[in-house]
Amino acid sequence: MNSMSIWKKTSSLPSFENLRENIKTQVLVIGGGLAGILTAHFLKESGVDCVVLEKGRVCGGTTSGTTAKLTFQHGLIYSRLLKEKGEYAAREYQNANAEALEHFAKLCADKDCDYEIRPSCVYSLRGKKLLADEIEALDRIGVSAKFEKELPLPFETDGGVTVENQAQINPLKLAAELLNGLTVYENSPVCRFEKGKAVTDNGSVTADYIVISTHFPFINSHGAYFLKLYQNRSYMAALKNAKPVGGMYVDENEKGMTFRDYGEYLIIGSGGSRTGKDMRGGERLDRLTREYYPGAQTVCRWAAQDCMSLDGMPYIGRYSAAAADMFVATGFNKWGMTGSMISAMIISDMILKRQNHYERLFSPSRSMFKKQLFVNGLESAVNMLRPTAPRCPHLGCALKWNASEHSWDCSCHGSRFASDGEILNNPANKPLGR
Ligand SMILES: Cc1cc2nc3c(=O)[nH]c(=O)nc-3n(C[C@H](O)[C@H](O)[C@H](O)COP(=O)(O)OP(=O)(O)OC[C@H]3O[C@@H](n4cnc5c(N)ncnc54)[C@H](O)[C@@H]3O)c2cc1C
């Protein structure tokens, strides 16, 4: 699986020097993906002195592998939230994401980022009941959605739930525009912290506030993110000469397919499963491509993974009760475009000491007594006790060889390493064998 996404192929990002001195700033943002960039942008717009430190190249992480649909329709989230958290939480979740969409509309209006309004549709192959429940849930929180029986997909479905006026972008083109005004250091991985100071190999940044937007947070002494998150990996392709779908489509089943157009390309994806568990996702996507689009040409293939939270909502806010000046944005459950925008809204308000209506809903300290917590704990315990080498430098879990992608994968927390030991995906912060 080569890792050239369609976004990397069609955009060009500015490059930045690495950090080679000890500097001071008001806010340090660690991680130059969309969450970090939007947060730094919001802070800069409010006159705050802000520095971004990026481990590799900006947007070299999940942001470059996304499908970049901007929507408040996150699978069948509203029937789930109504059942698990009640009507208030479901309404607030939708309001926050709808506000994020409005922010994107304003931000993208004068930027070259291929922003396009599109309908969003969640379809099912498992019967109409799930869809009817979601329409009812959306209706209860005041959102208009319709059932559609016939969808422009290359297979039969049981229909879908459609909401209008959502959007899609090229995320790297947007990032390139925003990066122009920011102070960024690339190839500057933060390897440790001293009081109020983040240290890299060649310099340090002392800051009043630190934002951890590194995708999977890598500080294990606070917040227990290693228990509250796991990673889920998907496989993507951009096809030429494939029939456009005209909207944004996703299966309610996380293992199902996703579709959107980008100019002359059709972007498809499939295979969501826990990193390190199912290593055949790329082959499955190739098979689906041949079956459904036999005349199409695959222009790019890539894979990407995202952090999954315990309750389907991201963790945004104070890193932990014991780390008052440190903030986090993670656990986007593959909906981190609006998630990144909500992070920027909440974290910039918290730093600027402004009330934010959504602070409580997304607080990383919210109660997390969920079945998935035990699944994550069990997965870690089993892999820590497995007596095989190599071990993950993050927390010592046994790694598995992924023959399809030629990588060592950790099913506990989702770190991945190339065959020579280089880090491909965090939270590991050190290569294998060092
Ligand atoms: C296949 C797929 C499809 C998706 N589709 C959608 C979609 O259609 N709509 C949607 O809303 N969301 C989607 N998502 C989710 C969304 O893409 C992600 O949630 C979002 O891009 C995450 O952004 P981020 O900034 O948190 O992480 P990243 O983009 O991974 O950025 C984190 C950055 O931190 C850096 N970093 C890590 N450690 C350090 C360190 N120690 N020091 C310095 N820097 C460090 C990394 O190098 C990286 O650049 C999708 C996700 C996947 C996997």
User: Tokens representing 228?
Assistant: 């509250």
User: Tokens representing 140?
Assistant: 């209860």
CATH of the domain at 413: 2.102.10.10
- Residue 306 in domain: no
Q: In what order do the strands lie in the sheet with 423-425?
A: 400-402, 407-409, 416-418, 423-425
Query: Strand ranges (DSSP E) for 202-255?
Result: 204-212, 230-240, 248-251
**Mutation pick for ligand 1 pocket among 70, 231, 268, 306 (CB with most ligand atoms within 8 Å):** 306
Domain that includes residue 177, residue range: 6-66+172-227+312-351
CB count in 10 Å sphere of residue 149: 9
- Residue 386 in domain: yes
pLDDT value, residue 375: 72
Q: Tell me whether strands 230-240 and 265-274 are parallel, antiparallel or unpaired.
A: antiparallel
Number of domains, the chain? 2
- Residue 74 in domain: no
Q: 306: CA distance to ligand 1 center in Å? A: 7
Q: What is the signed CA dihedral for 21, 25, 29, 34, rounded to 10 degrees? A: -100
CB count in 10 Å sphere of residue 71: 24
Burial 256-275 (b: 16+ CB within 10 A, else e): bbbbbbbeebbbbbbbbbbb
Q: What is the signed CA dihedral for 69, 73, 74, 75, rounded to 10 degrees? A: -110
Query: Does 390 sit behind a cis peptide bond, omega within 30 degrees of 0 on the bond before it?
Result: yes
Whether 221 and 316 share a structural domain? yes
List the helix and strand counts (H, then E) for the chain: 10, 21
CA 179/CA 349 separation, integer angstroms: 21
pLDDT value, residue 107: 98
**Mutation pick for ligand 1 pocket among 5, 51, 59, 63 (CB with most ligand atoms within 8 Å):** 63
- Looking at this protein, which amino acid is placed at residue 240? K
Q: H or E element: which one contains 375? A: helix 371-385
- Residue 198 in domain: yes
**3-class DSSP assignment, residue 293:** coil
Q: 119: CA distance to ligand 1 center in Å? A: 24
**Mutation pick for ligand 1 pocket among 188, 236, 267, 332 (CB with most ligand atoms within 8 Å):** 332
Main-chain dihedrals φ then ψ at residue 119, nearest 5 degrees: -75, 155
CA 425/CA 434 separation, integer angstroms: 16
pLDDT value, residue 434: 64
pLDDT value, residue 2: 53
Task: For ligand 1, say whether the CB of 232 is within 6 Å of any of its atoms.
Answer: no
- Residue 157 in domain: no
CA 186/CA 388 separation, integer angstroms: 35
Task: For ligand 1, say whether the CB of 306 is within 6 Å of any of its atoms.
Answer: yes
Burial degree of 427 (CB within 10 A; 0-12, 13-18, 19+): buried
- Residue 297 in domain: no
Task: For ligand 1, say whether the CB of 54 is within 6 Å of any of its atoms.
Answer: yes
Mean pLDDT by 10 residues, the chain (434 residues): 85 97 98 98 97 97 98 98 96 98 98 98 96 98 97 98 98 97 96 92 97 94 90 96 98 96 97 86 95 97 96 96 93 98 98 96 85 72 72 90 92 93 92 81
User: Tokens representing 94?
Assistant: 């939708």
Q: Tell me whether strands 160-168 and 265-274 are parallel, antiparallel or unpaired.
A: unpaired
Q: 31: CA distance to ligand 1 center in Å? A: 9
Q: H or E element: which one contains 304? A: strand 297-308
Axis crossing angle, helix 129-140 with helix 87-108, rounded to the nearest 10: 80
- Ligand 1 atom having least distance to the Cα of 232: 53
Whether 219 and 321 share a structural domain? yes
User: Which residue's C-alpha comes closest to atom 3 of ligand 1?
Assistant: 66
CATH of the domain at 329: 3.50.50.60
* CA 395-399-403 angle, 5° bins: 155
- Residue 141 in domain: no
- Ligand 1 atom having least distance to the Cα of 336: 19
User: Which residue's C-alpha comes closest to atom 38 of ligand 1?
Assistant: 214
Task: For ligand 1, say whether the CB of 308 is within 6 Å of any of its atoms.
Answer: no
Whether 321 and 419 share a structural domain? no
CB count in 10 Å sphere of residue 388: 9
User: Tokens representing 85?
Assistant: 């958290």
By the 8 A CB rule, do 390 and 433 touch? Answer: yes
CA distances from 376 to 295, 382, 414 (A): 42, 10, 11
Whether 222 and 325 share a structural domain? yes
Look at phi and psi of residue 334 and say left if phi exceeds 0, alpha if psi is from -120 to 50, else beta.
left
The pTM of this model reads 0.95
Whether 343 and 393 share a structural domain? no
Q: 58: CA distance to ligand 1 center in Å? A: 11
- Ligand 1 atom having least distance to the Cα of 260: 8
Task: For ligand 1, say whether the CB of 361 is within 6 Å of any of its atoms.
Answer: no
